[in-house]
Amino acid sequence: MNIWNHIKNTLFNSKTHLSQNSDFPDYLNSNTPYKNYFILILICAILLIGTRVIRESSDNGITVKVPPGSEAKIEQNRREYSEQNTVTKILIAKLIYILAWIAIPLIIAGIRFGFLKILGDKNGNFSDLLKLTLSTTIPILLLTGFVSVTYDLLPIFPWNRNVNSFLIQVGVSFVSFLIGFLWEGRLCLYAFKNFYGQNSGRAVLTWLSPGMIFLNLLSLTIILRSWLS
């Protein structure tokens, strides 16, 4: 199964694709999920490098009013910025992007694997769950990549950089993440019911377990900081 057929079937034919009666079980028994996922994040990283380079090299034609007497300082900062190795910074940022998207499925799969054991579901192993997670996280990966592209390209569009454009970017981010999150939940619901024999309630709890852990840790951090401050 090549990467494009896998993405298409996962996103748009998930009910049939993520079942025991398809070729997906054979897909899980191979190393192809790792290869396809790495190719996908590499393509996303290359695309984001390209859009970032376009943004850095573009002239937005923005006029900024500065306080009197600050022109020399601003000119000095501009020269220092232009002397920085922008390409290296972009490459480092996208390397971090790749490493983050390698770590995210590992963390999600680890939490869900532990949750499966707590619920008493003995089927499967961590390797298969990780490969399954690499497939279910595709919507979030693609849509967050889309958001990053809009962040890079929106400033070169003929829009004013004001509150309205900022709100549009925030709105696009929120809607894209929400769609990706719910889409991933739909994939997880099919996968957990078909491969682990879970009912809908257990499948939803397993899907939400990473988010519940994150919210609990966030709440604990806020409480501890309020106590220590």
What's the predicted TM-score (pTM) here?
0.82
Q: What count of Cα atoms within 13 Å lies in the side-chain half-sphere of residue 140?
A: 18
In tens, the pLDDT along 19-66 reads: 888 889 899 899 999 999 999 999 999 998 888 888 777 654 455 555
How much is the pLDDT for 119? 83
Please work out, in degrees rounded to the nearest 5, the angle formed at the alpha carbon of residue 112 by the alpha carbons of 107 and 113: 95
- Contact between 94 and 49 under an 8 Å Cβ cutoff? The reply is yes
Q: Which long-range contacts (CB under 8 A, 24 or more apart) does 8-15 make?
A: 10/135, 10/136, 10/138, 10/187, 11/138, 11/139, 11/183, 14/186, 14/187, 14/190, 15/190
- Positive or negative, the CA dihedral 159, 160, 161, 165 is negative
In tens, the pLDDT along 157-197 reads: 544 456 676 777 788 888 989 999 999 999 999 999 999 88
How much is the pLDDT for 83? 47
In tens, the pLDDT along 133-167 reads: 999 999 999 998 888 887 777 655 544 456 676 77
How much is the pLDDT for 81? 55
**Interatomic CA distance for residues 204 and 195, integer angstroms:** 14
Whether the pLDDT of residue 208 is over 70: the answer is yes
**Interatomic CA distance for residues 83 and 72, integer angstroms:** 17
- pLDDT: which is higher, 45 or 90: 45
Whether the pLDDT of residue 203 is over 50: the answer is yes
How is residue 20 annotated by DSSP?
T
The residue ranges of every structural domain in the chain are 3-65+77-228
